[in-house]
Structure 1
Amino acid sequence: MRILIQKFGGTSLSTAQARECVIQHIAREKAAGYATVVVVSAMGRRGLPYATDTFIQYIRDNGDSLPPREMDLLLGCGETISATVLCSTLRSRSISASVLTGAGAGIYTDDQHGFARIKRIQPDRILKLLQEEEVVIVTGFQGVSPLGDLTTLGRGGSDTTATALGAALGAEIVDIYTDVDGILTADPRYVEEAKPLTSVSYAEICNMARQGAKVIHPRAVEIAQQSRIPIRVRSTFASGTGTLVSDQSGNHVPFVTDRHVTGIAQVSGVTQIAVEALDNRKDMQLQVFRTMAKHGISVDFINVTPSGALYTVFDEQAAKALELLTEAGFHPKSIPSCAKISVIGGGMNGQPGVMAQIVEALTEQGITIMQSADSNTTIWVLVRESDMTKALRALHTKFGLHR
């Protein structure tokens, strides 16, 4: 049995017209001989009646005191509505379909409500329905705890559901349908010349997802990479094949690349914080980061030296971070409204001159690099947010991503 996983996001399901496109994709793959599992998100985005963010706002407007277990019960409703509406529409077109919740699909998690982790998948019921030639619609984002309670997997949870089911079922491929035609070399809101990529590696898309490209959740990619199942990121509203995400050394699909840089991503709205070491504080770094962790402040872009610590937090957490550091006896300095720009490419590892090109591109535009760091597949630079768009365009051009 050739199994295909299709995941459809909220914008793909939010209107009758959009759902017509979804049905066409499902019907096409059924006709091609695939046993099809469809994973759905909640309909629409913030403000629409069945969107996850809308449910959260309902609670904020009505006491804002719902415990995590009960919040999961509410948030699971969005996917259930999407799944049942899609099932009804498919059946009206003589396409036999059945709906399974996360529990019904055999997705067992831990008991961390709101950000549960999948512990195992027991897909017997899915396989039985596939053998009966049903389209199996699974509510994304959901699982079941050891006590039998509904759990949710956190943001991007439907992507995670899709790739986890793909791994458990030995699917040939997982198709992630969105409102864009695959993965682009940069955010088209800032770089008009951004172009779709035909293929990327798991490592590249993981880094792009973590650094601001919101096409697919990195947890989902990590699961696919471990099981070596390829992913296609495709548009619900077009017929193209989108972007293939696979392992360069995998057996599924040949992967060839000669580029050093694959894409550029960005995260805006961050504040740089600098804390100098004090003569009598030998444990300065420990105290700084322990203070941030204790109060739930996420830190990023960390540089630690004997003379101090340099890192970033989101702008909305900066005032609290500075207050806590001052109370702890430090004298922090900060620069608000910065942007972290990531230059990503599996071919840059061991390739000389990439950092020189980054510095050259930004220097030519009069952009100051406030901080930098690197890994095997990514180089990060911190710039002023006012310089972000100019920096993205300059780097996109410097590495020839517009061609």
Structure 2
Amino acid sequence: MRVLVQKFGGTSLATAERRSQVVAKVSDAVREGYAPVVVVSAIGRTGDPYATDTFINMVKDISPELPQRELDLLVSCGEVISGAVMVSTLNSLGFEAVLLTGGQAGIITNNSFGDARIIRIEPRTIVEYLQQGKVVVVTGFQGITEDGQVTTLGRGGSDTTASALGVALNAEAIDIYTDVEGIMTADPRIVEDARILDVVTYNEICQMAHQGAKIIHPRAVEIAMQRNIPLRIKCTFSDAPGTLVTSIQADMGAGTDITGDRIITGIAHTPNVTQICVPTSALPDNLQANKQIFKGMALADISVDFISVQSDAVYYTVRDDEADKAVKILKNMGFNPSVVPSCAKVSVVGAGIHGVPGVMADMVEALSDAGIRILQSADSHTTIWVLVDKENMVKAVQALHQKYHLGD
């Protein structure tokens, strides 16, 4: 049995016309000999009647203190509604379809309500329905604990559902359908000549997702990578081939010089972060101070990023909306932090970066020529990050996209 997992986002399911286009994709899979497993998100986006945020705002208008367990029960309704509508649509067009919630599909999670992690998948029920020739529709974004409590997988959780099912069912591929035609070299809303990437590696797209690209959740990429199952990012509303995410780079043409291999894949960005600097040179025990700083952030459930521990100071970033809380905690601990609010992280991502001289030089040159101040920088084997003022974010992305000739 050739299993194909197809995940459709909320915009793909928002109208009858769009759902008919979803059915066309399912029909194509059946015609090609696949047994499709269709994963659905909640219908629409914020403001639409059955969107996840609509449910959240409904109860927050009453009380902001709804426990996360009950909130998971509420927001999981969005995918159930979406799945029932999808099954109804498939049945009306001649397909035999069946709906399974995350729990009924065998998705077992831990009990971290609101951001649960999948422990294992027991796909027996899915397999039985597939063997009967049915199209199995699974509600994304949700699972159950060992004792039967409904959980949700956090933002982007439907992508995670699709990848986890793909691994559990040994699928030939996992197709993630969105309203764009693939992964692009940069956000097309700010870079006019951004182009679609035919092939990217798991590591590259995972880094781009972590650094602000919104096409797919990085956890979904990491799961698919464990079994080397190809991910394909496609558009529901076109027949474009989309972007293939796999373990290898795109093949170069015959006779192509190795120096022509792609070094930079794309530019990602994350706005609305605050840089915090905590001086430590005057403290009697720097090592203990460093420990206290990050322990304090962890106990307050504040996520830190872009960390630079130096001999005389500690630098890191937090989300703008958590900056005041972080500063208050640091002052209560006896530190004297300074902040640079309204920053943005801009990232250059590429599997070919490691060991290639001049990449950072080009980055600094492009930003300097554009009059952009670099507040902080860091790098890894596949990514170089810089922190800039938020007002310069768009200009920085455009300058780097042009510098590395990504629109060519």
Same fold (TM > 0.5)? yes
- After superposition, residues 177-256 of structure 1 pair within 5 angstroms as 177-248=177-248
AA aligned to 2:89 is: T
Q: Which moved more, 1:325-334 or 1:267-276?
A: 325-334
The structure 1 segments of at least 4 consecutive aligned residues displaced by more than 3 Å after TM superposition are: 254-257
- State the shift of 1:50 in Å: 0.6
Counterpart residue number, 1:279: 283
Residues 63 and 300 from structure 1, CA distance in 2 versus in 1: closer, same or farther, beyond 3 angstroms?
Answer: same
1:132 aligns with 2:111: no
Q: Which moved more, 1:120-129 or 1:377-386?
A: 120-129
Counterpart residue number, 2:273: 270
Counterpart residue number, 2:86: 86
Note if contact 1:275-1:309 (Cα within 8 Å) is conserved in structure 2.
yes
1:307 aligns with 2:346: no
Task: Give the counterpart of 2:399 among 394, 398, 401.
Answer: 394
Find the residue that maps to 1:203 and give its secondary structure. Answer: helix
- State the shift of 1:281 in Å: 4.2
Task: Give the counterpart of 2:345 among 325, 340, 343.
Answer: 340
Task: Give the counterpart of 1:364 among 362, 369, 372.
Answer: 369
Note if contact 1:5-1:39 (Cα within 8 Å) is conserved in structure 2.
yes
Note if contact 1:260-1:345 (Cα within 8 Å) is conserved in structure 2.
yes
1:168 aligns with 2:176: no
Q: How many residues align?
A: 399
AA aligned to 1:29 is: A
AA aligned to 1:279 is: L
Q: Percent identity?
A: 55
Counterpart residue number, 1:326: 331
Note if contact 2:183-2:233 (Cα within 8 Å) is conserved in structure 1.
yes
1:292 aligns with 2:297: yes
Encode CA deviations 1:146-189: one digit per residue, 9 max, x unaligned. Answer: 11111111111110110111001110000000111110000111
- State the shift of 1:255 in Å: 5.1
- State the shift of 1:356 in Å: 0.5
AA aligned to 1:260 is: I
Q: Which moved more, 1:326-335 or 1:159-168?
A: 326-335
Encode CA deviations 1:121-168: one digit per residue, 9 max, x unaligned. Answer: 111111111111111000111111111111111111110110111001
**TM-score, normalization by structure 2:** 0.96
Residues 327 and 241 from structure 1, CA distance in 2 versus in 1: closer, same or farther, beyond 3 angstroms?
Answer: same
Distance 1:287 1:162 in 2: 40
Encode CA deviations 1:93-127: one digit per residue, 9 max, x unaligned. Answer: 11111111111111111122111111111111111
Distance 1:146 1:95 in 2: 33
- After superposition, residues 8-27 of structure 1 pair within 5 angstroms as 8-27=8-27
Encode CA deviations 1:172-223: one digit per residue, 9 max, x unaligned. Answer: 0000001111100001111111100000000000000000001000100000
1:259 aligns with 2:262: yes
Note if contact 1:99-1:136 (Cα within 8 Å) is conserved in structure 2.
yes
Q: Which moved more, 1:172-181 or 1:125-134?
A: 125-134
Counterpart residue number, 2:58: 58
Q: How much is the aligned-residue C-alpha RMSD, in angstroms?
A: 1.2
Distance 2:149 2:331 in 1: 43
Note if contact 2:272-2:342 (Cα within 8 Å) is conserved in structure 1.
yes
Note if contact 2:283-2:289 (Cα within 8 Å) is conserved in structure 1.
no
Distance 2:325 2:140 in 1: 35
Find the residue that maps to 1:180 and give its secondary structure. Answer: coil
**TM-score, normalization by structure 1:** 0.97
Find the residue that maps to 1:346 and give its secondary structure. Answer: coil
Find the residue that maps to 1:66 and give its secondary structure. Answer: coil
Residues 65 and 337 from structure 1, CA distance in 2 versus in 1: closer, same or farther, beyond 3 angstroms?
Answer: closer
Find the residue that maps to 1:347 and give its secondary structure. Answer: coil
AA aligned to 2:265 is: T
Distance 2:171 2:234 in 1: 17
Q: Which moved more, 1:286-295 or 1:348-357?
A: 286-295
- After superposition, residues 366-385 of structure 1 pair within 5 angstroms as 366-385=371-390
Distance 1:328 1:299 in 2: 17
Find the residue that maps to 1:348 and give its secondary structure. Answer: coil
Note if contact 1:98-1:137 (Cα within 8 Å) is conserved in structure 2.
yes
Note if contact 1:234-1:243 (Cα within 8 Å) is conserved in structure 2.
yes
AA aligned to 2:237 is: F
- State the shift of 1:377 in Å: 0.2
> Which runs of 5 or more structure 2 residues have no equivalent in the other structure?
253-259
